[in-house]
């Protein structure tokens, strides 16, 4: 089975190992119950118990046992899903709670019917599959112990028929091994042999059935206790309160026989089937089943007949409707044909008019394209002419650049020549400065001379095109041995030249003042010896 084949619905309860959810089978819409079991955290024992339940319910096929339909495993989520029969009537625990809440007791006939159906289901479990009609348990078959019979595990279908379910704690016994040793179950329904951890067999299920039957009558458990030790004590004694007075003595005897503390004295299912009340219930159940089958078949036949009649009526109505539709369609087709003829003529005229307009539009666009093409040719010629003009300008610019580079090269050579000249001039100046130091020494020797001062000789020149003056001041040498010293300094354009500021016309006799020969020139003069400024030197002797 696949999970996709079932539509999940609401959760309806919990079982031994997981949730129980109502599902709908997609193939036919049948409502079923799905047990969702998470085996991720299960130990090996619990997994073995789960496998045992699946194997048990798969083989058990009885009208009073919850039917097994399918199973599938989800390995990714560690889940196993078991599809079971859905019991719409709930369980006996809900029924007991409802009666207790309303203060009503169940009718004795209903209790006998429930008892007979549970006996039938247990007989199927205890004495072999498909052997429920046999009155003798002597034949060797595989025995199944339910081990957890209680109101929560007994269900009702829509017709209040018993369905024994939840085989999570069930166990199979081989014919050679008729006693079990593991101790499981619900404490309030455990037999004395289970309580005392003794060996047990099918009679343990009979004890649990007696507890269930007592609870259906009295609406309370036969052994009430507030502690496990008190419960064990009461179960071992086997004393139960009497049933309500409205129930028969026969029912009292049956319950007491099932709750006998000695399992040997407890009757088995075959012995209970010999009871007249049980036989009557069984016959009534068979009659009810036969009547139910007949009624079901009658309902199925009536349903089929009704379905056929409905199908015929539907087909007849469908045919009539189709005839009317055909007649209507035929009339519509006639009207549509005439309308189509008119539409065709209108459509042809419209196409012709559109074709003429389209031809006119095509001619107009063709003329516009021709004009645009001529305009593009004219612009292309203009672009070509502009490109040629740009080439001419580029050539002229390149020529200017070459010419400028040549001029810069000449200027660079002139600068190189000027640097060489300045180097030579600097060397000569150093020589003159050395000679000047000799002159200063001789001047010290001549300070005591009393020769008359010779007036200076002045010359002033004015060059054409030069705004500044060139003044050369000569001082007569005081002695033949006086070396000549020249210091060059350009005349500042913003400063006027004053001869008297350089040389006075008279020198005091007691104060001898000598000055070096000074040449002041204009920087723009081509005859200037150098563009570099030489500092003026003045030697004073007092």
pLDDT digits (tens, 9 = 90+) for 221-247: 999 888 888 888 898 888 889 999 999
Q: Which residue has the higher pLDDT, 97 or 488?
A: 97
User: Tens digit of pLDDT for each residue in 441-450?
Assistant: 666 666 555 4
- Tens of pLDDT along 439-489? 666 666 665 554 444 444 444 444 433 333 333 443 444 444 444 444 444
Q: Per the annotation, does 35 bind a ligand?
A: yes
SS3 label, residue 486: strand
Give the helix/strand (H/E) hosting 472.
strand 470-474
Q: Do domains 1-86 and 89-274 have the same CATH topology?
A: no
89-274: what fold? Transferase(Phosphotransferase); domain 1 (1.10.510)
Residue 460 phi/psi, 5° resolution? -125, 130
Q: Which helix H or strand E contains 460, and what residues bound it?
A: strand 457-461
pTM of the model: 0.54
Q: Which residues contact 378 (CB under 8 A, 6 or more apart)?
A: none
C-alpha span between 515 and 27 (Å, rounded): 137
At 508, list the tokens.
């005091």
The domain locations on the chain are 1-86, 89-274, 300-445, 448-542
For range 163-180, the mean pLDDT: 57
The pLDDT tens digits of the residues spanning 273-297 come to: 999 998 888 888 888 777 777 877 8
Which of 148, 166, 201, 205 does the annotation list as catalytic? 148
pLDDT band at 135 (very low <50, low <70, confident <90, very high): very low
What CATH number matches the domain at 1-86, 3.40.50.2000, 3.30.200.20, 1.10.1060.10, 3.40.718.10?
Answer: 3.30.200.20
Tokens encoding 470: 């060139």
Helices 108-126 & 249-258 angle (0-180, nearest 10): 30
pLDDT surpassing 60 at residue 89: yes
Q: Is 525 a catalytic residue?
A: no
Q: Rounded to an integer, what distance in angstroms lies between the CA atom of residue 381 and that of residue 394?
A: 20
pLDDT digits (tens, 9 = 90+) for 369-428: 999 999 999 999 999 999 999 999 999 999 999 999 999 989 899 898 888 888 888 888
């Amino acid at each position: 089975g696949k999970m996709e084949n079932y539509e999940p619905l609401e959760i309806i309860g919990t079982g031994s190992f997981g949730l129980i959810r109502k599902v709908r089978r997609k193939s036919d819409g049948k409502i079923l119950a799905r047990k969702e079991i998470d085996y991720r955290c299960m130990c090996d024992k619990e997994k073995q118990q789960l496998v045992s339940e699946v194997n048990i319910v798969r083989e058990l096929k009885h009208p009073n046992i919850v039917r097994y339909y399918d199973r599938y495993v989800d390995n990714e989520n560690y889940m196993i899903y078991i599809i079971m029969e859905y019991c719409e009537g709930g369980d006996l625990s809900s029924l007991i709670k409802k009666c207790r809440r309303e203060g009503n007791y169940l009718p004795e006939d209903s209790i006998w019917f429930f008892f007979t159906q549970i006996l039938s289901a247990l007989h199927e479990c205890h004495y072999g599959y498909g052997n429920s009609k046999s009155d003798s348990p002597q034949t060797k078959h595989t025995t199944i112990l339910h081990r957890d019979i209680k109101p929560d595990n007994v269900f009702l279908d829509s017709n209040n028929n018993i369905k024994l379910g939840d085989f999570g704690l069930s166990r199979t016994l081989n014919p050679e091994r008729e006693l079990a040793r593991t101790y499981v179950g619900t404490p309030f329904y455990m037999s004395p042999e289970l309580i005392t951890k003794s060996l047990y067999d099918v009679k343990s299920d009979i004890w649990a059935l007696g507890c269930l039957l007592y609870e259906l009558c009295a609406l309370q458990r036969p052994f009430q206790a507030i502690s496990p030790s008190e419960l064990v004590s009461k179960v071992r004694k086997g004393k139960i309160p009497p049933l309500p007075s409205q129930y028969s003595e026969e029912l009292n005897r049956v319950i007491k026989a099932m709750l006998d503390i000695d399992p040997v004295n407890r009757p088995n299912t075959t012995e209970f089937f010999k009871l007249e009340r049980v036989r009557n219930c069984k016959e009534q159940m068979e009659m009810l089943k036969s009547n139910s089958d007949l009624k079901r078949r009658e309902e199925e036949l009536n349903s089929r007949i009704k379905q056929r009649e409905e199908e015929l009526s539907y087909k007849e109505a469908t045919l009539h409707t189709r005839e009317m539709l055909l007649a209507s369609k035929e009339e519509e087709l006639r009207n549509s044909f005439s309308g189509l003829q008119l539409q065709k003529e209108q459509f042809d005229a419209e196409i012709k008019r559109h074709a003429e307009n389209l031809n006119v539009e095509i001619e107009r666009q063709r003329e516009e394209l021709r004009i645009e093409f001529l305009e593009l040719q004219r612009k292309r010629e203009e672009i070509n002419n502009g490109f040629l003009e740009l080439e001419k300008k580029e050539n002229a610019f390149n020529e200017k650049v070459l010419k400028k580079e040549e001029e810069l090269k000449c200027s660079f050579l002139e600068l190189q020549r000027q640097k060489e000249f300045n180097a030579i001039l600097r060397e000569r100046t150093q020589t003159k400065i050395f000679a000047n130091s000799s002159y200063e020494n001789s001047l010290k020797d001549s300070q005591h001379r009393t020769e008359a001062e010779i007036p200076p000789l002045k010359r002033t020149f004015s060059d054409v095109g030069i705004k500044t003056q060139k003044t050369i001041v000569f001082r007569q040498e005081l002695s033949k041995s006086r070396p000549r010293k020249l210091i060059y300094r350009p005349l500042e354009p913003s400063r006027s030249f004053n001869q008297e500021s350089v040389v006075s016309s008279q020198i005091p006799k007691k104060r001898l003042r000598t000055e070096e020969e000074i040449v002041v020139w204009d920087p723009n003069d081509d005859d200037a010896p150098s563009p570099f400024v030489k500092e003026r030197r003045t030697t004073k002797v007092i």
